[in-house]
């Protein structure tokens, strides 16, 4: 069983432990040999070059992804070379292009913020007029962690950007109570396994904390999140892990915000908090192996991202203090140099008392020095 991963970031890195456990050979194509997933890097090259990627893909059982930036034509070349790729390019497309995603989910009748494709200042002005003069503008392709997203209150603010991009996705500014995320894994043969819906706390467009399961979400809300996510997984024929980010609105609706077709920050809690982590499950899913149980190991799990900051010094300097202070918290380093705002790791705490679990996770994270 050999899995090839395109991209050497922390998602590829976090696939290493379950690959070791399951006896899966992991091969990673990275842009540099010293990336986060360095231990498993077997090829260095540009994921935008079909020749490089096809060469990498030869001899693996399945190709999957650390990120969604691999061009469609490159993925198609791998498929044409006879190597299985999951998620398939036809599915991944909807995680790569937010406009196509909105169109497709709209056709499926799934609940979303109001949205429009805008290609001109006039169209944006029209959208603003219909939405209280404010809109969330998104680049259809290439954004992540809040990059490629702006809130505007006049078309003039986006004129240059619109000219550069050619088209933008405009969305209503949703009045939401909180953000939720629902992850699922799906095999080519159709088997599906869902983790509980979680609450995701964002700051400056970056996920900083996740509570699993989402407090108070059991029952109707959880069922709705699951229904939406299973519909997307099945209708888009997603294989591997799919994470759906959702708004829980102030008027009690769930709206689809974003999709990711890979292990996702909102699922990192599952490494320590679920019987089967999203990284193990992703490997099982893309290899079409039976999926593992997705129950919670504790009543609550709380994950807090560790962000690099100007005052944090080196990670290892603060390691001892954090481990000493929080012996029950699990640490996950991404093996990256610390830069302000960069995700350099995460911590997860678990237990029966949510206040205590949140406290321990935040306390452990705080030793790493950064509060955004």
Q: Binding residues for a second copy, per CB under 8 A?
A: 1, 13-14, 16-17, 20-23, 39-40, 275-276, 284, 289-293, 295, 297-298, 315-316, 319-320, 323-324, 327-328, 330-335, 345
CB-nearer residue toward a second copy: 101 or 344: 344
Dig out the tokens for 13 from the structure: 């890195």
105/366 with CB nearer a second copy: 366
Residue 235 beta carbon to a second copy: minimum distance, rounded to whole angstroms: 25
CA distance 269 to 14: 12
The HSE-up count of residue 39 (CA atoms within 13 Å, CB side) is 15
Beta carbon nearer to a second copy, 17 or 45: 17
Diameter of the chain by CA atoms?
59
Q: Which is nearer to a second copy, 205 or 295 (CB)?
A: 295
Q: Report the length, in residues, of the chain.
A: 372
Measured over the CA atoms of residue 310, residue 141, residue 187 and residue 108, the dihedral's sign is positive
Q: Name which of 292 and 309 has its Cβ closer to a second copy.
A: 292
CA distance 79 to 84: 6
Reduced to 3 states, what is the DSSP secondary structure of residue 321?
Answer: helix
Distances from the Cα of 360 to the Cα of 127, 186, 316, 320, angstroms: 44, 33, 19, 16
Can you tell me the distance from the alpha carbon of 231 to that of 321, in angstroms, rounded to the nearest whole number? 45
CB of 40 to a second copy, least distance (A): 7
Residue 359 Cβ vs a second copy, minimum distance, rounded to whole Å: 15
Euclidean distance between CA atoms 349 and 212, whole angstroms: 11
Minimum CB separation of residue 219 from a second copy in Å reads 24
Residue 271 Cβ vs a second copy, minimum distance, rounded to whole Å? 8
Place of tokens 């830069």: 339
Q: How far is the CB of 165 from a second copy (least distance, A)?
A: 38
Nearer to a second copy, 242 or 291 (CB): 291
- Shortest reach from residue 202's CB to a second copy, in Å: 24
At residue 149, the 3 state secondary structure works out as: strand
Which positions ≥6 away from 202 have C-beta within 8 Å?
Answer: 179, 208
- Residue closer to a second copy (CB basis): 216 or 295: 295
């Amino acid at each position: 069983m050999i899995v090839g991963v395109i991209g050497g970031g922390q998602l590829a890195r976090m696939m290493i432990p379950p690959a070791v456990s399951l006896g899966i050979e992991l091969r990673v194509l990275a842009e540099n040999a010293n990336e986060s997933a360095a231990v498993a890097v077997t090829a260095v090259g540009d994921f935008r070059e079909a020749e490089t990627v096809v060469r990498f893909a030869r001899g693996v059982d399945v190709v999957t992804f650390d990120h969604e930036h691999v061009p469609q034509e490159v993925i198609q070349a791998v498929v044409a070379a006879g190597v299985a790729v999951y998620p398939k390019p036809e599915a991944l497309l909807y995680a790569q292009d937010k406009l196509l995603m909105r169109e497709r989910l709209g056709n499926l009748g799934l609940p979303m913020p109001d949205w429009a494709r805008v290609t001109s200042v006039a169209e944006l002005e029209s959208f603003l007029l219909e939405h209280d003069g404010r809109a969330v503008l998104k680049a259809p392709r290439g954004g992540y962690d809040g990059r490629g997203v702006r809130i505007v209150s006049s078309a003039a603010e986006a004129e240059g950007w619109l000219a550069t991009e050619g088209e933008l996705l405009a969305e209503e500014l949703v009045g939401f109570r909180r953000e939720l995320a629902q992850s699922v894994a799906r095999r080519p043969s159709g088997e599906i396994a869902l983790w509980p819906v979680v609450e995701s706390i964002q700051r400056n467009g970056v996920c900083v904390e996740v509570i699993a399961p989402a407090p108070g979400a059991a029952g109707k809300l959880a069922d709705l999140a699951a229904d939406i996510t299973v519909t997307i997984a099945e209708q888009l024929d997603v294989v591997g892990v799919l994470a759906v980010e959702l708004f829980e609105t102030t008027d009690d609706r769930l709206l689809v915000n974003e999709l990711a077709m890979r292990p996702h920050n909102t699922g990192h809690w599952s490494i320590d908090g679920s019987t089967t982590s999203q990284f193990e499950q992703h490997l099982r899913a893309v290899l079409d192996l039976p999926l593992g149980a997705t129950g919670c190991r504790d009543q609550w799990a709380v994950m807090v991202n560790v962000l690099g900051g100007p005052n944090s010094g080196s990670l290892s300097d603060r390691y001892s203090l954090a481990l000493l202070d929080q012996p029950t918290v699990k640490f996950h380093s991404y093996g990256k140099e610390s830069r302000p705002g960069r995700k350099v790791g995460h911590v997860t705490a678990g237990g029966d008392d949510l206040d205590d679990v949140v406290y321990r996770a935040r306390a452990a994270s705080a030793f790493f020095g950064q509060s955004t």
